[in-house]
Amino acid sequence: MTLEKESLGLLQEALARLEEGFDSLPKFDRDPNLDALRTVLLEVAERMQDNYPYPHPLYVGQMLKPPTEIARLAYMLSLWINPNNHALDGGRASSAMEKEAVAEIAKMFGWETHLGHLTSGGTMANLEALWVAGNLQPNKKVVASNQAHYAHARICSMLRIPFQSVPCDSHARMDIVALKKLLQEDDIGTVVVTIGTTATGSIDPLPEILELQAEYGFRIHADTAYGGYFMLVDNLDAEARAAFDCIKQVDSIVVDPHKHGLQPYGCGCILFKDPSVGKIYKHDSPFTYFSSEELHLGEISFECSRAGSSAVALWATQRLLPLIPGGEFAGYLSKSRKAALTLFEKLQNDSRFVVAFPPELDIVVWVVKSQSASESSRLAKEIFKAAAQENLHLALANLPKELFLETGEGINWDQDSITCLRSCLMKPEHLDWIDSIWQTLDAVTTKVLNT
Ligand SMILES: *Cc1c(COP(=O)(O)O)cnc(C)c1O
């Protein structure tokens, strides 16, 4: 595997341009000890060899995707300034870039106005969403499906908001009948709708949940940390498309630019439809703000110091690859989805495997056909290990047996969950590599099943 280095030359040129902005200052140089730097840096390079090859297309395991060149370069470039987006004093340009980039994301979901900002990740963004929800709906329950991200339950316990999980259907989507029953019996303040679950990329039935909202009245928070950017693609199935098409009706949205938005880690995003929720954040800080009449990003965020570089990287990425249907960025995601559909088809046509359901995004989950759930789980772990030895990196996921009620005929359920093989086909290159991925999977499966 080679690492892309050609673009680094641009960084020199851009640093010279950045320097020009500070020409009027008295000369001030730093003089690093290059020998000492070199020793440690090469040591770091060696330490970093101890990683799975995340950027390579044969890494098809967990949710890991390399940042795109422009994000990497813009992030590095801005490190010479190291802006802090807590307050405008700490990062003037990068705060403006954050507002612009976040507005583009809001627009992608169909919002012309919003309140929002970047966070260090999806968990912090969800924390803010549920904190606002809890303030607006005091003492009422928050519910999320049992396939929602586990952090929702934990966040609610932190905020001392009562939480309940809602069962899923056989496609790992929130069961609408179960939700309706809860709404009839209980005081539900907020429903967390997951658009792209972390394990399987499943999409809760938002159109039906909106119908229930009209009847029962509750807030809807959409956790699209993983799936949000699929808003832009042209090859979703009808149910998934319908959910995205009404996403602008929800009250808050979380999306992770560091998942599918080509960003380095440290970039999540929270958006509220109603900008007036900003009043909930209101506080008086004696020391941070003095340069602007405007609402500082630090005034509407939990986190104080935040990486301005994250905002710069995101802004630059969206400048190069705008968030528009039919654009280059959308094309990347369509390819990922197509790769997932191709893998799904191959698995479905192979009698050694059982697939629970077709992928709704670009995550595929399958089990090894076997007489029992425990034996199938053992085989999945063996295939996982054998594949890694052949440089094919898959993931494992433990999923409840309910997901296999339709397709897992003949499996003796000697345990309630089953270890599945799982692939997040997040890189556009996965589509071109799918035959090679399949060949290795095929070969190692044959080997494992014959020993
Ligand atoms: C990844 C993920 C999160 C958590 O986001 P982090 O950025 O890892 O903190 C929350 N919800 C969903 C659906 C996710 O996929």
In a domain, 335, yes or no: yes
In a domain, 369, yes or no: yes
Does 223 sit in the ligand 1 pocket, CB within 6 Å?
Answer: yes
Three-state SS at 30 = coil
* pLDDT over 70 at 288, yes or no: no
Tell me: do 339 and 268 sit in the same domain.
no
* pLDDT over 70 at 287, yes or no: no
Q: How far is the CA of 183 from the centre of ligand 1 (A)?
A: 26
Does 114 sit in the ligand 1 pocket, CB within 6 Å?
Answer: no
- pLDDT of 80-123, one tens digit each? 999 999 988 899 999 999 999 999 999 999 999 999 999 999 99
Q: How far is the CA of 351 from the centre of ligand 1 (A)?
A: 34
Nearest ligand 1 atom, CA 265? 7
Domain boundary among 320, 351, 378: 320
* pLDDT over 90 at 146, yes or no: yes
Tell me: do 360 and 273 sit in the same domain.
no
pLDDT mean over 378-406: 96
| pLDDT value for 239 | 98
Burial of 374 per CB tally in 10 Å (0-12, 13-18, 19+) = middle
Tell me: do 367 and 439 sit in the same domain.
yes
Domain boundary among 320, 349, 373: 320
Nearest ligand 1 atom, CA 224? 13
Tell me: do 260 and 340 sit in the same domain.
no
Q: How far is the CA of 256 from the centre of ligand 1 (A)?
A: 7
Does 198 sit in the ligand 1 pocket, CB within 6 Å?
Answer: yes
Tell me: do 250 and 182 sit in the same domain.
yes
pLDDT mean over 378-398: 98
Nearest protein Cα to ligand 1, atom 2: 225
**Quick one: which of 155, 165, 248 has its CA closest to 206?**
248
Nearest ligand 1 atom, CA 123? 9
Tell me: do 206 and 351 sit in the same domain.
no
Nearest ligand 1 atom, CA 63? 1
In a domain, 344, yes or no: yes
In a domain, 72, yes or no: no
148 phi, psi to nearest 5 deg:
-65, 165
Nearest protein Cα to ligand 1, atom 8: 122
Does 268 sit in the ligand 1 pocket, CB within 6 Å?
Answer: yes
Does 204 sit in the ligand 1 pocket, CB within 6 Å?
Answer: no
pLDDT mean over 424-446: 98
Mean pLDDT of the chain: 95
Residue 348: give the domain boundaries: 328-449
| pTM, entire model | 0.97
| Mutation to probe ligand 1, out of 259, 303, 362, 424 (largest number of atoms < 8 A from CB) | 259
Which comes out higher in pLDDT, residue 42 or 291? 42
Domains held by the chain: number: 2
Q: How far is the CA of 337 from the centre of ligand 1 (A)?
A: 19
Which comes out higher in pLDDT, residue 186 or 293? 186
Tell me: do 231 and 106 sit in the same domain.
yes
Share of the chain above pLDDT 70, in %: 97
* pLDDT over 80 at 11, yes or no: yes
In a domain, 358, yes or no: yes
Does 194 sit in the ligand 1 pocket, CB within 6 Å?
Answer: yes
| pLDDT value for 138 | 95
Domain boundary among 320, 349, 367: 320
Q: How far is the CA of 149 from the centre of ligand 1 (A)?
A: 7
Give the pLDDT band (50/70/90) at residue 282.
confident
Tell me: do 267 and 200 sit in the same domain.
yes
Tell me: do 392 and 422 sit in the same domain.
yes
Nearest protein Cα to ligand 1, atom 6: 122
Nearest ligand 1 atom, CA 149? 11
In a domain, 41, yes or no: no
- pLDDT of 182-212, one tens digit each? 999 999 999 999 999 999 999 999 999 999 9
| pLDDT value for 281 | 85
323 phi, psi to nearest 5 deg:
-85, 70
Count CB-CB contacts under 10 A for residue 412. 12
- pLDDT of 223-277, one tens digit each? 999 999 999 999 999 999 999 999 999 999 999 999 999 999 999 999 999 998 9
Helix or strand run (H / E) with residue 422:
strand 417-424
Nearest ligand 1 atom, CA 256? 7
Instruction: Give every CB contact of residue 144 below 8 A, 6+ residues apart in sequence.
Output: 152, 153, 163, 165, 166, 174, 191, 192, 194, 223
Q: How far is the CA of 320 from the centre of ligand 1 (A)?
A: 25
- pLDDT of 33-86, one tens digit each? 999 999 999 999 999 999 999 999 999 999 999 999 999 999 999 999 999 999
CATH for 397: 3.90.1150.10
Count CB-CB contacts under 10 A for residue 447. 14
- Give me the DSSP letters along 60-108: -SSS--PPPHHHHHHHHHHHTT--BTTSTTT-HHHHHHHHHHHHHHHHH
Tell me: do 343 and 297 sit in the same domain.
no
CB 199 within 8 A of CB 172: yes
In a domain, 49, yes or no: no
